Structure 1
Amino acid sequence: MAKVYVGLGTNLGDKEDNLRVAIQKIEERIGKVIFLSAFYATAPWGFHSENSFVNAAVGIETLLSPLEVLEGTQAIERAMGRMQKTVNKAYSDRLIDIDLLLYDNCILSVVSPSGAELVLPHPLMAERDFVLKPLAEIAPELVHPVLGKTVRELLAQLNA
């Protein structure tokens, strides 16, 4: 059984409900949700928007492979109404965003059969307060497999 951590974000519609629906669908399609952070109100990152975000982190136990988790999370995003992913770092408002942050201690860079790129650990997670705060709440001692620092240390470093 693999332990997987994902980050969730939304800045359109009923934000808290969007997160609750995504979490329910993760439990149905990906695996058992074993950790859930509080919901955090955050400012947009990487683009300007009038809409603030609500973010959370989830820990999951799954039998799925990393690519199967990616395909599952993208199917959840589509089912919830998200039709386009971020391309060339051109971020935009979104009903739901589910980012696969960590999959056990896996270090991976592959392209799925559907053409989606999967990089583990998530390449920007250590730069994003809105990812590290909720992740530090549920897994403060989790060690980033590339950087060799705990989530708590990464958050402290980011906020220094």
Structure 2
Amino acid sequence: MAKVYLGLGTNLGEKEQNLRDAVQKIEEQIGKVISLSAFYVTAPWGFASENSFLNAAACVETELSPLEVLQETQMIERELGRTQKSVNGIYSDRLIDIDLLLYEDLVLSVTSASGAELTLPHPLMAERDFVMKPLAEIAPDILHPVLGKTMKGILGAL
């Protein structure tokens, strides 16, 4: 079993329910959710919107490979009503966003057969307060496999 850390976010509709629905589908399709952070209200990052976000982080035990986890998270996003992904750093409002942040201590950059790109650890996680706050809550002492700092240490430097 691998431990995978996921970042969750939503800024449209019933935000708390969106996150709860995503967590339920993660349990059904990816693996057992062994920890879930509090839900954090945050400002949009990378674009302007009148809608604040609700963000969380989850740790999941899974038997799936990293690319399988990515495929499942994208399927869950579609099942919950997300119709488009952010492309080339252009972000927009969304019903649900699920990011694969860490997969054990794996460092990886691959493209799936479907063309989805996966970089582990998530390349922007250490720059994002809305990712690091919930992640540091549930995994304060986990080491970032590239930066060599704990999640708590990365958050403290933001």
Local SS of the residue matching 1:110: strand
Aligned AA for 2:83?
A: M
Aligned to 2:38: 38
* SS state at 1:25 partner: helix
Distance 1:71 1:36 in 2: 21
Per the TM alignment, residue 83 of structure 1 is displaced from its structure 2 partner at its CA by 1.3
1:97 is displaced (CA, Å) by 0.1
Distance 1:49 1:40 in 2: 17
Q: 2:73 matched to 1:57?
A: no
Secondary structure of 2:102's match?
strand
Q: Aligned AA for 2:134? A: P
Aligned pair count?
158
Provide the alpha-carbon RMSD of the alignment: 0.3
Partner of 2:92: 92
- Using the alignment, how far apart are the partners of 2:7 and 2:25 within structure 1? 14
Residue in structure 2 matched with residue 105 of structure 1 by the alignment: 105
In 2, the alpha carbon distance for the partners of 1:83 and 1:102 equals 25
* Aligned residue in 2 for 1:151: 151
Matches within 5 A, 1:73-152: 73-152=73-152
TM-score (norm 1): 0.98
Post-superposition offset of 1:26: 0.1
Q: How far did 1:21 drift?
A: 0.1
SS at match of 1:50: coil
Which aligned segments of 4 or more residues in structure 1 are displaced greater than 3 angstroms?
none
Query: What is the distance in 1 between the residues matched to 2:35 and 2:113?
Result: 30
Deviation for aligned residue 1:117: 0.3
Deviation at 1:114, TM superposition (A): 1.1
